[in-house]
Every structure is written in structure tokens, then in C-alpha cells.
Structure 1
Amino acid sequence: MGHRERLLVGARNCLYERGYTRTTARDIVAASDTNLASIGYHFGSKEALLTAALVQAFEEWGVEIDRVLRDGTQPDLMDRLESMWTGLVESFATQRPLWVAGIEAFALAEHRPELRAQLAESYARARPALATFVIRDGGEDVTDETRKAVGSFLLALMTGLTVQRLLDPKAAPSGEELAEALRLIISAVNHTASA
């Protein structure tokens, strides 16, 4: 493994242990057994390295979520959504440090345009995959804007669930509870529309 890869691994470990803002370049060098000059050579700055490590970690987690989505073969959409949300909830047990680092990075993105751009790009890639999970067969006539809206809606739920799970895991809803809540909302909308 070369310096670049070791830096990414070391940066990810630091993100998980110390967080985005508390990680120093020296922490990363110690965790990666490299040198300070390697950070500048390969990434330009500590912030760029931390951002790359965070994005890489989210993409690897995305592979796990893709597996959950592919396993969601139930014909009923609500059952698939429940399966997706349950998989997400289960990932908090193993991926909590990633979620904490991610929430910290979201807040930092306000003042770091390069971080904001990379996180926005990650979200842009996630939207179509999530929309495809909901809009399956027969979705050929669905516009790109609608697909984007569906993916954005699911991302909003995932982000909100993340924050709830981080703050108060016992009070945060389960996948089953989210699916039931959505069923009730749909029923209320249908009732209002028919009235």
C-alpha cells in the first residue's frame, strides 16, 4: 500500500476517533506511518485529505446500502422501504463514527466550498440509486425531475433518521415504525383528497 492509500486509511481512522475538526496533520501522519510532506503532495491539504477519506468512507457505506436495496426484493414498496430503513438503522451499530464525522462535515461545509462540493456530488450520485429503489418496473415515463425529488425525499428521511439515532437512539424510530408512519401519512392524504 502506497503513501496515498495509507494516508486515506489513517485519515479515516482519525475521523472516527477524533472527528473532522480535532484531527491534526500530525495525527494523520502518526496513524498512517507516513510524513507531513505526503499530505501536501497527494492531497494538497489536511482538509482535502480528510474530505477524500470521508467521501470514500461514505461511498463504501453506500455499497452496503446498495446491498440492502438489492436485497429488498419484496413486491410491496412499503415492505422494501421498511427493509431499507431497518438496514440503515442496523448500520448505526457498526458505522456510528462515520455518521458522527459526516454530521460534523455537513456543518463545516458551510465554510469550506470544496467540502460542500464533494458532499453535494455524493448526494447527487445517491439520489438516482434511491429513486430506482422506489421507481421500478413501469417507471419509464417518470421524469428525471421526479426521480430527483424521490431520491431527495429518501435522503432527507435518511439524514433525519441519522440525526435522531445519534442524539437519542432509544427514541428514534425503527424501520417498521417509519414504514407505518408513511402508511398513515399516505392514508391521510388519500382521505383528504377524496373528501
Structure 2
Amino acid sequence: MGHREDLLEGAKRCLLQKGFVRTTARDIVKESGTNLGSIGYHYGSKDALLVQAYVSLIEGVGEAPGVGWGAGGAVTAPLGSLGRFQTVWANIIRSLPESRGIWLLSFELVLQGDRIPEVRRMLGEAQEEGRSGLVSLFTGIPENELDKEALETEGRFYQTLLNGLMVQWLFDPDSATDADQLTEGLRRVIAGTGRES
């Protein structure tokens, strides 16, 4: 690995150990075996590096074989079906124990957003990428083939559900919504939209 990759891996370890606010540039340098100048050269700033490390951690959660959100590509239920909806959510929920530290970090960033506006801006830009990954999981359409309408509607829908689920799960995993409850809830909402007002 080169300095760029070493910095990224060191920053990921620091984020999980210390969180965003408490991680210093010196922490990253010590953890990565690089030097202070490398951070500016490769990433521009410590905050930009930490945002990239955070995005990489989130991507890793969704892609982990066997426990990732697609469970290593094992989502076989038909596209657009409630079965696929339930399977993907079950995979996401199954991955939560291994990724608890990452979700705690996510909420630290949400709470610190007003204090570090540059980080908030960078994370806001990264959300679109997150939405495309979620839509792809549920629809089976490759991310590079998704249209803007899908990202702005379905992507926001799945992202909202995911964020709510994370809050529930971090607060009390035993009472958090499970995949069957989410699926039955969606089924009832769909059935209810056919009623006359």
C-alpha cells in the first residue's frame, strides 16, 4: 500500500476507536505510519480524509460477503417483490451487530453537522451515492444505470427507512423493527392506497 491507502486505513481505525471529533491528524499519522504532510498532499485536509474514511466504512458494511446488505449477491427474490424487500432488509438487519460502531459514528456526525459545516457539505454530497447503492440493492438495476428520478424518490425512501431503523437499533436492538414488520407495514400501506377517500 502507498501513503494514500495507508492514511485511509489508519483514518478508518481512528474513526472507530475515537470518533470524528476526537481524532486528530497526529492520531491518523501514528495509526497509518505516515507523516503529517501526506494528509494535505493526498486528501487536502484531515476532515476530507475522515469523510472519505467514513464513506469507505459505510460502503464496506453494505458489501461485506455473507453479512453485507446484498448478502454476497444472494438476493434471489423477484425484482420489485415484497419478498425482495423483506430479504434485503433482513440482510441489512443481520449486518447491524458487526457495524454498530459505524452507525454510532454516523450519528456523531449528524449531531456535529452544524459545528463542522465543511464536513456536513461533503457528507451531503456522499448521500446521493448512498441512495444509488440502496436503490440498486432493492431493484437489481446497476448503480450506473439508475435515473435521477429513482434516486430522488426510491433512494430517499430507502434512505429514510434505513436512518429510522438505525436510530431504533442503536437505542434498543431488542425492540427495533424487524424485516417482517417492515414488509408487512409496506404491504398494508400499499393496500391502503387503493381505498377510496
Q: For structure 1, which segment, 128-137 or 18-27, has the greater mean C-alpha deviation from structure 2 after superposition?
A: 128-137
Q: How far off is 1:131 after superposition?
A: 3.2
Partner of 1:73: 76
Q: Which amino acid aligns with 1:114?
A: E
State whether residues 63 and 72 of structure 2, in contact with CA within 8 Å, keep that contact through their aligned partners in structure 1: no
From 153, 160, 163, give the equivalent of 2:164. Answer: 160
Matches within 5 A, 1:92-171: 92-135=96-139, 144-171=148-175
Looking at structure 1, the residues matched to 151 and 196 of structure 2 have their Cα atoms a distance apart, in angstroms, of: 26
- Report the AA paired with residue 92 of structure 2: L
Asked if the contact 2:88/2:137 (under 8 Å) is kept, the reply is no
Q: Of the two structures, which has the highest relative contact order with CA contacts closer than 8 Å and spacing of 6 or more?
A: 1
TM-score scaled by structure 1?
0.83
Amino acid paired to 2:15: L
Distance 1:92 1:122 in 2: 21
Report the TM-score when normalising by structure 2: 0.82
* One-letter identity of the residue aligned with 2:55: V
For residue 7 of structure 1, give the secondary structure of its aligned residue in structure 2.
Answer: helix
How far apart in 2 are the matches of 1:28 and 1:143? 38
**Relative to structure 1, is the Cα distance of residues 116 and 176 closer, same or farther in structure 2, using a 3 angstrom cutoff?**
same
CA distance in 1, matches of 2:75, 2:82: 10
Residue 7 (structure 1) aligned with residue 11 (structure 2): no
Aligned residue for 1:91? 95
Q: Counterpart of 2:19?
A: 19
Q: Contact (CA 8 Å) 1:128, 1:148: kept in 2 or not?
A: no
Deviation, 1:169, is: 0.8
Structure 1 spans left out of the alignment, 5+ residues: none
For residues 2-21 of structure 1, the C-alpha deviation after alignment (integer angstroms, 9 at most, x for no partner) is 22211111111111111111
Alignment of 1:23-42 (within 5 A): 23-42=23-42
1:194 alignment partner, SS class = coil
- Provide the C-alpha distance between the structure 2 equivalents of 1:31 and 1:87, rounded to a whole number of angstroms: 32
Structure 2, gaps ≥5 residues long? none
Cα deviations across residues 82-110 of structure 1 (Å, max 9, x unaligned)?
A: 11111111111111111111222233333
Amino acid at match of 1:51: V
Paired with 1:109 and 1:163, the residues of 2 have a C-alpha distance of 17
> Which sits farther off after the overlay, 13-22 or 175-184?
175-184
Letter in 2 for 1:8: L
Alignment RMSD: 2.6
Shift of 1:133: 4.6
1:183 is displaced (CA, Å) by: 1.6
Q: Sort the Cα spacing of 1:135 and 1:26 in 2 relative to 1 into closer, same or farther, 3 A.
A: closer
**C-alpha distance after superposition, 1:132-169 (max 9, x if no partner):** 455569xxxx9742552011101100111111111111
Distance 1:136 1:56, change over 3 A: closer
Instruction: Kindly state the Cα deviation for residue 77 of structure 1 after the two structures are TM-superposed.
Output: 1.4
Tell me the SS of whatever aligns to 1:19. helix
